[in-house]
Structures are given as structure tokens and as C-alpha cells.
Amino acid sequence: MESKTPSRLYYDFGKLFTATKSFIDNHNRNKSRLKDRLNANHRATAELMTRLYAKQLNQAIAKGTDITGKLPGFRTFNPSLATCKGCTVRTIINHKERLKTAGFIIKEIHHGKTGVELWINPSIFALPKLSTSVTNPNSKITQLATFFDERVKNLHPLVHEHQEQKNNNSSVNCLKTLKEEKGIRLPAHNKMITGVTRTVQEQDKNIKESRTSDSKKQTRGVKNLLSEESESAFLLQLVRDFWQYAQGKLFSNAIFSKPEEAEILNNIWRSVYCKFRVKGSKEDWKGYQETLYTR
């Protein structure tokens, strides 16, 4: 008998981002001078702190820690925040000071050289922001798909397949004789002189060579078919590996039936990988897979 994951409370990222945006908008609305307002860079730093803090709180809740009475501080490092945001440590320190002035950060304690513990305004992480976890993982997979949608479309470098086209106007390898050019039909078994080597050849002696050429074409067709099957298996394994990674991170205690897993895999194939419409080499897809894990 299958067991479902018991519902538990967790901080919803969407609600927290909405609360962060509302807090900053209200602060800027009450400031008449432009230099007193929080700009887009300050907003991005606040949203980064909100996301990382919510991740810490959700991990604490998953371990059974009761945080309804008092929220713990957000423990982090200045260099880590700078790396996540792609800026310098000095910029993070300046942004923290501006956020403390705005009331977004209400308290800060330093631990060691670079470690800090921050307390964010309680209005952001109030209890109403807690939600009940859902048992259907497709909603979270859809959120991941929205995040990676633009990245899978811009996958590069792409492998361009060079295709040869027949040029009817080219005279290269042309075996037409003067009679053919004038429109006179040659007999089926007439000896003909090639336009390249000027050697005498008979058409009935080329039958064996034609058959060999046909067998080579069949061999190439089988190799292409095997190559396509190998590529399909490789791409399918990417989908399974992504679901295994997401399941370990988001649904470690959940048990899904085979129909449910098949539906989830189809959703990942359709939304995260866009049905593999973008063509790339195996190395390209491996690199993209590592990007998915990192994000």
C-alpha cells in the first residue's frame, strides 16, 4: 500500500517575494527624495536574502524544529551573498546598511570575520506566509520549468548538420556525351566514353558496383537508426536523472506510483526540456543538465 507524505507547513517563495515587493514599494512611496529610496539593486539583494532565509527555515521545519514561537536568525556569510548576487563584498555590506535604514533588516550580529546573522522584518516572514505542502509535485516542476524556459531555448553551442544539396547546374562528374547533350537517346548496351577520364566503359559491367553501393546505403541506414536510438535513450536518461534529483531535494519522503511518475516525467520532458526541440550534442546536454542542478 502506498503512503502519502503528511502535510506540513512551509514558507511559500511566491508569497514571500510578494511581501518583499510590497514592503519595498511602500517604503519608496513614503520617501519623497530619490536618494532615500531603495533602487533595483537593493531590491535584488533583499529578494536574495528572502529566498535563502526561507530555504533555511524550510529545512528547519523539515527536521521538526518548531519556529512558530520565535524565528531564528538568518545565518550567512558576506562573501557567499556576494557570490550568489555576482557583486563584491563591499556592495553587500552597503546594501545591508541601506536595508537596515529602510527597516527591512531589523538586527545584525557578526560571527567571526565574515559570518553574519540577520533578522528580517517580521512582516515579511509572518505566520500567514506559511502554507501547507502539496502532495502533487507537478506544480513545483512547473515552477522549475518556468525558471529554465528561456535557458533551454538559448542552449549553445549547437551542432549544425551540414547537408549536401544537388546542384543541377553543375558540370562536375557529368558523364553526358555530345549525343546526349543534343537530345539523342543512347542504346542501352552501347559503349560510352566518360567525360572525365575518356575511358571506355560498358553499362552492363557496372551492375555489381551498383549493388555494392546499395548495400552500403543500407548499412549507413542501420547505423543512423542505431545512432538515433542511442540518442533517444540518452535524452530519456536526462529526464529520469532530473526527476531523481528533484525528488531527492523536494519530495524525499514521498512515494509515487508508476502512473504518477510517468505523468511527472512527461511533464518534465514537455516543460523543462521543451520536448528536446533544440538540437545539441551530448556534451551540450550534459552541460545544461549541470546548470539545472546548480540552479
Q: Which pLDDT score, from 0 to 100, does residue 94 have?
A: 93
Q: Which pLDDT score, from 0 to 100, does residue 186 have?
A: 47
Residue pair 102/38 in contact by the 8 Å Cβ criterion: yes
User: Rounded to whole angstroms, how far apart are CA atoms 202 and 209?
Assistant: 12
**Which phi and psi (to 5°) does residue 130 adopt?**
-75, 135
pTM for this prediction? 0.44
Residue-wise pLDDT tens digits, 116-128: 999 898 888 875 5
Which portions of the chain are predicted below pLDDT 70? 1-9, 127-230, 252-253, 295
Residue-wise pLDDT tens digits, 228-255: 666 777 778 888 888 777 777 777 667 7
Instruction: For the chain, give every domain's residue range.
Output: 9-132, 138-160+225-294
Query: What are 108's strand-pairing partners?
Result: 118
Residue 107 to residues 77, 80, 96, 267: CA-CA distances in angstroms?
15, 19, 10, 43
Residue pair 191/201 in contact by the 8 Å Cβ criterion: yes
Q: Which pLDDT score, from 0 to 100, does residue 251 have?
A: 72
Q: Which pLDDT score, from 0 to 100, does residue 149 have?
A: 56
Q: Which pLDDT score, from 0 to 100, does residue 267 have?
A: 81
Q: Which pLDDT score, from 0 to 100, does residue 112 have?
A: 83
User: Rounded to whole angstroms, how far apart are CA atoms 125 and 52?
Assistant: 12
Instruction: Give the domain 9-132 fold.
Output: Arc Repressor Mutant, subunit A (1.10.10)
